[in-house]
A and B are shown apart, each in its own frame.
Chain A
Amino acid sequence: MAAFDEMLPEVSGLRRPYSAYDRWLKEQDPARLTEKMQDAERVFRKTGITFAVYGEQEASERLIPFDIVPRIISGNEWRRLTQGIEQRVQALNAFLDDIYHRQEILRAGRVPRELVAKNEAFLPEMIGVRPPAGVYTHIIGVDIVRISENEFYVLEDNARTPSGVSYMLENRETMMQLFPELFQQIKVRPVENYPQLLRQSLAAVRPQSTKGAPTIAVLTPGSYNSAYFEHAFLADQMGVQLVEGQDLRVVDGHVAMRTTEGYKQIDVLYRRVDDSFLDPLTFRPDSALGVPGIMDVYRAGNITIANAPGTGIADDKAIYSYMPEIVEFYTGRKAILGNIPTWRCSEPDSLKYVLEHINELVIKEVHGSGGYGMLVGPAATKKECQDFAKKLAAKPSNYIAQPTLALSTCPILTEKGLSPRHVDLRPYVLVSDRIQIVPGGLTRVALKEGSLVVNSSQGGGTKDTWVLDD
């Protein structure tokens, strides 16, 4: 299965978006590039851009490996992608509003009712609640894969609390530090204003009752969380407070933070804490990460929570397979960006097909994430396939299956020169009274030759992602 390489496809030679970069690359001394690679690692470690790995005391802070060859997307390709993403994000918000109100899509029979009703990501507490400005999912990271010149698919819609945007920003910062001359020669669209856009976007969805400029804060589970660096980074870049549950309490019907001068009201909370930990009075009673009573304040319309509680129902893997129907139902048009064909194992015909072709498919748990609990058929042994088939047959509704796609590759720099590795792309989308997509995103790359798993928890790295201003 030959993968499509975004820089040097076998058939046609160097692709246009990479031509200027390739010219530059050929002029470079390989020894200098290796040196630059080490510089990059030093920069990351010094600034503390690390992610925590749970359960490893000594090496509890790891770097996500960074590759210095950029992933380059032409202006045209990007325009097509953004149209598809915008449409999808509109549909996601419309779906959420519908699901928590009239449930037209269920009445119309386009999405099975039990798939929503029995789903853990569906929050009955949100029924009838309309968030400020009517936005449910404010910050979305849409995972996109490419398999050929013109075929892009959405792999996953991350509509809860997508992470990784700080890497998009730091990767660019690092590349500009390492190779300033490249950015003079090649016009790359900037991503640096993401924090300002995020702040404006959050301010635009403040509660109606807010007087004057809204007070915004980022809610983090704390400095031991694996994404803490990002939480601090975003709060810092936006110029807002980084708060923990212990800083907050409900005072006079508003959420307020404990400052050195007493309690101060918060209007918009960008939370990086999961739904179930948000309010111990409503959800998990043992949560120390949330704010007791925040859901009452929310229902009264006195605070914006971004993303809204209950958005997980829109990016659930079981719902994912219905996205083409969902997009069409709410936008009245066919989805510009397709789904990867998906077999729902809950359906007997699909289950039969999946069991028969188990060694060709990727089978995922409906609620899994991070690349855990999945079977990659072609890479698995016969025994692994048999064992997985048993699990699958025992609880079919817990699984979906997808064909193993030949994800596109992009070269990374190795000791032996350029070498292709599989990549995906996560652009970041901001929704307020408008939809904004920063030109770029996070390119994750599987560093192991031939590997398709790009997750950082399993040996994935990142690349700077360039959208050309052409």
Chain B
Amino acid sequence: MLLGRTANGLYWMNRYIERAENMARLVDAGLRMALTRTQNASEEWNSVLLSAGSDVAFTQKYQDYTAANVSDFLLRDTSNPSSTMSAIETARNNARMVRTALTRETWESINEAWMSLKRMLAKPIDERDLPTVLDAIKRETALIRGSFYGTMLRNEIFDFSQLGTYVERADNTARILDVKYYVLLPSISWVGSTLDNYQWESILRSVSAHRSYRWVYDADYKPTNIADYLILNVRMPRSLTFCYRFLAEHLKFLGDDYGERHACHATAEKTQAMLRAGSIKDIFDAGLHEFLANFIRDNTRLGDEIAQDYRFY
């Protein structure tokens, strides 16, 4: 038996842990672009902010798209509810609320991540320290994930936690693609200029897939392959298909355990079926941007339905 409020807490705890890490990844990709390409750096930082969904809030506070401003806003600004610091704080508050549902190891890893990041992000980050800070964020969230997978019982508590992780991750991957979809379109980038190569690498980097891409596809970056990798690859842990495989699986466990199916089951299965049947050619033919916009909308609806069907409020 699980309280609806506890399920809600677990779901958001994991969404925010995922988000804390994704912010670091996005800044990492932006930093790489800015370092390798001195021109148009501000454009790159702008798209990083768009991917993070934080562009509007950023422009209310800053004028210049610089590494210092963007990384400050996305990593340590507590007035930005999606910054790594805000996200880890929200994750910990949720963890505190659902503490009785967590193993001691899981709780302690979240609490320690919060303590160490709070210390590290207390002062503005010196640009020279940025790589160290980004590594530390990824390491802390990896430790949380490790304790979580290593110690949690695979029951409904695990299921609701995973739903949070994969809804957030799918949203994140889809947004990264949508912000950059134009550089993947054949009409513009068929030629494969150096510029495009950087752009493509940046996309892969922001989902930590620039190395694994080469294990799966050719050494050369091809836009269709990149899109295929991030959307349809079943083995790539941040692809949309991968996320939906697990969303459907955990929803099925819940449905079987409780002996009841809800609207969220149908929604998740529909999206999963669509991803399974699709080919990357079909997606490009029908319009990559339209595909991603629809996906993001359906994914958000799935989150709402889960909250409603399982009485989060």
Of B91-99, B141-149, B174-182, B200-208, the segment with at least 4 beta carbons within 8 Å of chain A is B91-99
CA distance A228 to B96 in the complex (A): 9
* Measured CA separation A247–B100 after assembly (Å): 15
Cross-chain contact of A260 among B97, B111, B258 (Cβ < 8 A): B258
Known contacts A48-B111, A258-B311, A261-B258, A235 near B100 by CB under 8 Å: yes
Chain B 100-133 residues near chain A, CB threshold 8 A: 100, 104, 107-108, 111-112, 115
Q: Pick out which of these stretches binds chain A: B3-11, B53-61, B233-241, B287-295.
A: B3-11
Distance (Å) between the CB of B294 and the closest chain A CB? 29
The reply to whether B3 and A241 contact each other, CB–CB distance below 8 Å, is yes
Known contacts A223-B93, A236-B99, A259-B311; A247 and B258 CB within 8 A of each other: no
When each residue 180-193 of chain B gets 1 if its CB lies under 8 Å from chain A and 0 otherwise, what string results? 00000000000000
Contact pattern, B 25-62, Cβ under 8 Å of A = 1, otherwise 0: 00000000000000000000000000000000000000
Chain A residue at minimum C-beta to C-beta distance from B112? A46
Q: Which residues of A contact B100 (CB under 8 A)?
A: 232, 235-236, 241-242
For residue A243, CB closer than 8 A to chain B, the reply is: yes
A6 at the interface (CB under 8 A from B): no
B2 at interface (Cβ–Cβ under 8 A)?
Answer: yes
Contact A261 B260 (CB under 8 A): yes
In the complex, B1 has a CB within 8 A of chain A: yes
Q: Say if the beta carbon of A246 comes within 8 Å of chain B.
A: yes
Any B CB within 8 A of the CB of A262 = yes
Residues of A within 8 Å of B1, CB to CB, are 241, 259, 261, 264
Cβ of B221 < 8 Å from any Cβ of A? no
Whether A113 sits at the interface, judged by CB under 8 Å, is no
Q: Taking CB as reference atom, which chain A residue is nearest B108?
A: A46
Say whether B305 faces chain A, with CB atoms less than 8 Å apart: no
- What is the distance, in angstroms, from A409's C-beta to the closest C-beta of chain B? 35
C-alpha gap A48/B96 in the complex (Å):
9
- A246 vs B1: C-alpha distance in the bound complex, in angstroms? 17
Q: For the complex, what is the distance from the CA of A223 to the CA of B311, rounded to whole Å?
A: 20
Q: CB distance A244 to B5 under 8 Å?
A: yes
B156 at the interface (CB under 8 A from A): yes
What 1/0 mask marks residues of chain B from 148 to 178 whose CB sits below 8 Å from any chain A CB?
Answer: 0000000010001000000000000000000
Question: Is A79's beta carbon under 8 Å from chain B?
Answer: no
B254 contacts across to A, CB distance below 8 A? 260
Residues of B within 8 A of A101 (CB): none
Compute how far the CA of A235 lies from the CA of B311 in the bound complex, rounded to whole angstroms: 21
In the complex, which range does the number of interface residues on chain B fall in? 20 to 34
Of A242, A244, A246, A264, the most chain B CB neighbours within 10 A belong to: A242
Separation of A235 and B93 alpha carbons in the complex (Å): 18
CB of B284 within 8 A of chain A? no
In the complex formed, the residue of B with least CB distance to A232 is B99
Residues on the B chain within 8 Å of A242, using CB = 100
The answer on a CB contact under 8 Å between B258 and A47 is no
B310 at interface, CB cutoff 8 A: yes
| Complex Cα–Cα for A242 and B310 (A) | 18
Residues in A with CB closer than 8 Å to B2 are 259-260
A247→B97 contact, CB < 8 A: no
B-side contacts of A46, CB under 8 Å: 108, 111-112
Determine the distance from Cα of A194 to Cα of B313 in the docked complex, in whole angstroms: 33
- Contact check, A260 vs B96: say whether CB atoms are below 8 A apart: no
Please give me the residue from chain B that is nearest to A236 by CB atom.
B100
Say if the beta carbon of A45 comes within 8 Å of chain B.
yes
Which residues from chain B contact A222 at a C-beta distance below 8 Å? 97
Q: A7 interface residue, CB < 8 Å from B?
A: no
Q: Is A257 an interface residue (CB 8 A)?
A: yes
- A241 to B111 CA separation, bound complex (whole angstroms): 22
Which interface residue of A247, A259, A262 has the most chain B CB atoms within 10 A? A259
Name A's B-contacting residues (CB within 8 A): 45-48, 222-223, 228, 232, 235-236, 241-244, 246-247, 257-262, 264
The interface of chain B, by Cβ under 8 A from chain A, is: 1-5, 7, 93, 96-97, 99-100, 104, 107-108, 111-112, 115, 156, 160, 254, 258, 260, 310-311
Q: Given A46-B112, A48-B107, A243-B3, list of 5 further CB < 8 A pairs?
A: A46-B108, A246-B5, A259-B1, A260-B156, A260-B310
Subset of 30 A-B contacts with CB under 8 Å: A46-B108, A46-B112, A47-B104, A47-B108, A47-B111, A48-B96, A223-B93, A223-B96, A228-B96, A232-B96, A232-B100, A241-B1, A244-B5, A246-B5, A247-B4, A247-B5, A257-B3, A258-B3, A258-B4, A258-B5, A259-B1, A259-B2, A259-B4, A260-B3, A260-B4, A260-B160, A260-B254, A261-B1, A261-B260, A264-B1
Q: Which 7 A-B pairs have the closest CB atoms?
A: A236-B100, A260-B310, A232-B99, A258-B4, A223-B97, A223-B96, A260-B2
